[in-house]
């Protein structure tokens, strides 16, 4: 998307606003599909939690994607967006048996990540095929908050528990039709990924009726120039070879599944916010935008670095700025960033705002969540309205009779 298009969206729909470029989403989807074209049955299940607007889900469906869901609500959104139940996999962590049964009743693929629920589910519903989420205990590097394969992780069934798992399967006579891992969002190293894959193959040999092996996600996308990104073409080549060898050995063409979130939508997203105040202090120049971590929490939550550009003054002289939000506690989007000279009223663009940005937005400080716009074939479509004051009061119950409204203020004598 051109910055002139982004400026036009900000003008027409107001800021703050999220903008998503459908063409970039499609090109990422096709890039990953092409990297694995040597696999006979490939399934890409978009991880809905990255960006769950229903129109985005429809776009994914039109591209031929399946859907990876982590809550019953995401399952229902996916069904509403036109996904067939068979195209949805439900991969929750620590949810109740009741919620898993509700998902199973809707006909989606169940993926279970602990032995307690596996035993209960298998005892009650031995006829419903289940995928198992394995924890291969591979540290995939990066930020420890988002590496989920290591020994202390709450995710998945440890590979050391396979004997117990097999006993449960044997006693309940349940059917395991898939093996899954998701080792976190920071896999830098293809060899680490391939190593974890070998553990999955090893596990898969224990089951006779598999239909698919799901390698999760963790594809890394660049956030700024020079960032390391996953070379999906190289991974595609190497994993395809190993996967096809394994299928030959297993005696059946299995489906190779992935569930990318960030890879598909991160770079397609732009967050636009207006500069309210430029404030010179003794140590820096702050640019305060009409937004905060209530709209984009990743920098404050886990130190994510989103590139920030001034699309209102792209040719201006570059200066150092600290870009901050309006939330009344530390709320920094970026420190010491070189940005084209900022004037109050300018529109700043935060890049890589497609994944885990709007979906993590809140009403903190009683602020409205922003609008979302889809840019499709050179046209802007509003896909979520900006909230208003009614949304802030929605679901609150004003129990007026509990307290009398005082007319005068209490004052110290």
Ligand X SMILES: *Cc1c(COP(=O)(O)O)cnc(C)c1O
What's the CA gap between 217 and 214, in Å, rounded? 9
218 forms part of the interface with ligand X (CB under 6 A):
yes
Segment lying near ligand X (by CB under 6 A), choices 79-87, 257-265, 286-294, 399-407:
257-265
328 catalytically annotated: yes
| The binder of ligand X chosen from 6, 66, 68, 354 (CB under 6 A) | 68
Q: Provide, rounded to whole angstroms, the least separation between the CB of residue 67 and ligand X.
A: 11
- Cis before residue 16, ω within 30 degrees of 0? yes
Restricting to residues 34-53, which ones interact with ligand X according to CB under 6 A?
Answer: 47, 49-50
263 forms part of the interface with ligand X (CB under 6 A):
yes
Restricting to residues 329-368, which ones interact with ligand X according to CB under 6 A?
Answer: 355
182 forms part of the interface with ligand X (CB under 6 A):
yes
Q: Buried b / exposed e across 162-201, counting CB within 10 Å, b at 16+?
A: eeebeebbeebebbbbbbbbbbbbbbeebebbeebbebbb
What's the CA gap between 34 and 269, in Å, rounded? 22
| The binder of ligand X chosen from 262, 295, 367, 369 (CB under 6 A) | 262
DSSP secondary structure letter of residue 315: T
Has 202 been labeled as part of a binding site? Answer: no
Has 356 been labeled as part of a binding site? Answer: yes
């609008």: which residue's tokens?
Answer: 371
**15/265 with CB nearer ligand X:** 265
Q: Provide, rounded to whole angstroms, the least separation between the CB of residue 92 and ligand X.
A: 9
What's the CA gap between 283 and 18, in Å, rounded? 31
Residue 383 · residue 373 · CB < 8 Å = yes
| The binder of ligand X chosen from 21, 74, 119, 259 (CB under 6 A) | 259
What's the CA gap between 115 and 52, in Å, rounded? 29
24 forms part of the interface with ligand X (CB under 6 A):
no
Has 367 been labeled as part of a binding site? Answer: no
User: Tokens representing 106?
Assistant: 């809707």
User: Tokens representing 324?
Assistant: 């901050």
| The binder of ligand X chosen from 91, 230, 288, 352 (CB under 6 A) | 91
31 forms part of the interface with ligand X (CB under 6 A):
no
Q: At what angle do helices 72-80 and 97-105 cross, to 10 degrees?
A: 20
Q: How far is CA 186 from CA 113, 148, 220, 304, 350, in A?
A: 20, 9, 6, 12, 21
Residue 161 · residue 115 · CB < 8 Å = yes
- Per-residue HEC secondary structure of 203-218 comes to HHCCCCCCCEEECCCC
299 forms part of the interface with ligand X (CB under 6 A):
no
DSSP string, 230-273: --HHHHHHHHHHHHHHHHHHHTS-PEEEE--SHHHHTTTEEEEE
Residue window 306-325: x/- pattern of binding to ligand X, with contact defined by CB under 6 A: --------------------
Q: Provide, rounded to whole angstroms, the least separation between the CB of residue 283 and ligand X.
A: 36
**50/179 with CB nearer ligand X:** 50
Has 11 been labeled as part of a binding site? Answer: no
**261/292 with CB nearer ligand X:** 261
**217/352 with CB nearer ligand X:** 217
Q: Provide, rounded to whole angstroms, the least separation between the CB of residue 185 and ligand X.
A: 3
216 forms part of the interface with ligand X (CB under 6 A):
yes
298 forms part of the interface with ligand X (CB under 6 A):
no
CB atoms within 10 A of CB 334: 18
Residues in contact with ligand X, total (CB under 6 A)? 18
**50/157 with CB nearer ligand X:** 50
What's the CA gap between 348 and 15, in Å, rounded? 10
217 forms part of the interface with ligand X (CB under 6 A):
yes
Catalytic residue from among 131, 328, 349, 357: 328
């110290």: which residue's tokens?
Answer: 412
| The binder of ligand X chosen from 260, 292, 334, 354 (CB under 6 A) | 260
Segment lying near ligand X (by CB under 6 A), choices 95-103, 170-178, 213-221, 317-325:
213-221
Has 302 been labeled as part of a binding site? Answer: yes
Catalytic residues: 328
* Binding-site sequence positions for pyridoxal 5'-phosphate: 218, 356
Site of interaction with ligand X (CB under 6 A) = 47, 49-50, 68, 70, 91, 182, 185, 216-219, 259-263, 355
Binding site: what residues are annotated?
218, 298, 302, 329, 356
């Amino acid at each position: 998307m051109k910055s002139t298009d982004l400026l036009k969206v900000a003008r027409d729909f107001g800021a703050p606003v999220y903008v998503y470029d459908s063409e970039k989403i499609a090109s990422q989807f096709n890039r990953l599909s092409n990297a694995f074209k040597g696999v006979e049955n490939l399934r890409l299940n978009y991880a809905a939690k990255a960006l769950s607007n229903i129109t985005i889900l429809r776009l994914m469906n039109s591209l031929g994607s399946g859907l990876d869901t982590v809550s019953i609500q995401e399952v229902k959104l996916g069904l509403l967006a036109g996904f067939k139940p068979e195209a949805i996999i439900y991969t929750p962590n620590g949810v109740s048996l009741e919620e898993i049964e509700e998902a199973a009743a809707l006909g989606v693929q169940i993926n279970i990540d602990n032995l307690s629920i596996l035993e209960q589910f298998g005892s009650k519903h031995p006829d419903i095929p289940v995928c198992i989420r394995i924890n291969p205990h591979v540290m995939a590097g990066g930020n420890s908050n988002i590496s989920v394969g290591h020994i202390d992780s709450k995710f998945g069934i440890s590979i050391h528990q396979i004997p117990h798992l097999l006993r449960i399967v044997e006693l309940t006579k349940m059917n395991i039709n898939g093996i899954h891992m998701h080792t976190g969002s920071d896999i830098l190293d293809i060899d680490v990924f391939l190593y974890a894959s070998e553990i999955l193959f090893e596990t898969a040999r224990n089951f006779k009726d598999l239909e698919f092996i799901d390698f999760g996600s963790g594809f890394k996308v660049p956030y700024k120039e020079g960032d390391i990104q996953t070379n999906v073409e190289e991974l595609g080549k190497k994993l395809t070879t190993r996967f096809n060898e394994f299928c030959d050995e297993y005696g059946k063409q299995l489906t190779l599944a992935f569930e990318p979130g960030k890879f598909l939508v991160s770079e397609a997203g732009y967050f636009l916010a207006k500069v309210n105040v430029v404030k010179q202090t003794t140590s820096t120049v702050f640019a305060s935008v009409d937004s905060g971590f209530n709209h984009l929490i990743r920098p404050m939550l886990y130190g994510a670095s989103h590139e920030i550009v001034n699309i209102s003054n792209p040719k201006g002289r570059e200066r150092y700025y600290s870009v901050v939000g309006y939330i009344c506690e530390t709320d920094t989007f970026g420190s010491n960033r070189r940005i084209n000279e900022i004037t109050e009223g300018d529109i700043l663009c935060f890049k890589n705002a497609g994944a885990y940005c709007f979906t993590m937005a809140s009403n903190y400080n009683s602020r409205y969540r922003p609008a979302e716009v889809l840019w499709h074939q050179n046209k802007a479509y509003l896909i979520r309205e900006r909230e208003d004051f009614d949304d802030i009061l929605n679901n609150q119950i004003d129990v007026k009779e509990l307290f009398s409204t005082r007319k005068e203020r209490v004052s110290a004598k």
